[in-house]
Amino acid sequence: MRAMELDEPGQALRLRQRDDPEPGRGEVRLRVAACGVCRTDLHVVDGDLEQHRSPVIPGHEIVGRVDAIGEGVEDIAVGDRLGVPWLGWTCGACRYCRSGRENLCDNAQFTGWTRPGGFADTAIADARYCFPIPDSFSDEAAAPLLCAGLIGHRAWRMAGEPDHVRRLGVYGFGAAAHLMSQVAIARGQKVYAFTRPGDEAAQDFARELGCVWAGGSDTAPDEELDAAILFAPVGDLVPAALRAVAKGGTVVCAGIHMSPIPQFPYSILWGERRLVSVANLTRQDGLDFLPLAAEIGIEPRTRTYALEEANQALEDLREGRLSGAAVLKP
Answer yes or no: CATH 3.40.50.720 is held by domain 149-277: yes
* Comma-separated ranges of CATH 3.90.180.10 domains in the chain: 2-147+281-329
* Comma-separated ranges of CATH 3.40.50.720 domains in the chain: 149-277
Res 200: pLDDT? 95
Q: How far apart are the first and last CA of the chain?
A: 10
- Strand ranges (E), the chain: 2-5, 14-17, 27-37, 62-69, 81-84, 87-89, 109-110, 122-126, 131-132, 167-171, 190-195, 213-216, 225-230, 245-253, 274-277, 302-306, 325-329
Find out whether 159 and 276 touch, Cβ atoms under 8 Å: no
Helices within the chain (DSSP H only): 39-46, 95-98, 139-142, 148-159, 175-186, 200-208, 237-244, 283-296, 310-318
The amino acid at residue 83 is G
Q: Which helix (DSSP H) or strand (DSSP E) does residue 330 occupy? A: none
| Distance in angstroms (rounded) separating the CA atoms of residues 305 and 143 | 13
Backbone angles phi, psi at 327, to 5 degrees: -135, 130
pLDDT by 10s per residue, the chain, length 330? 999 999 999 999 999 999 999 999 999 999 999 999 999 999 999 999 999 999 999 999 999 999 999 999 999 999 999 999 999 999 999 999 999 999 999 999 999 999 999 999 999 999 999 999 999 999 999 999 999 999 999 999 999 999 999 999 999 999 999 999 999 999 999 999 999 999 999 999 999 999 999 999 999 888 999 999 999 999 999 999 999 999 999 999 999 999 999 999 999 999 999 999 999 999 999 999 999 999 999 999 999 999 999 999 999 999 999 999 999 999
Res 222: pLDDT? 86
Res 139: pLDDT? 98
CATH class of 2-147+281-329: alpha beta
Res 36: pLDDT? 98
DSSP β-ladder status, 325-329 and 302-306: parallel
Specify the pTM: 0.95
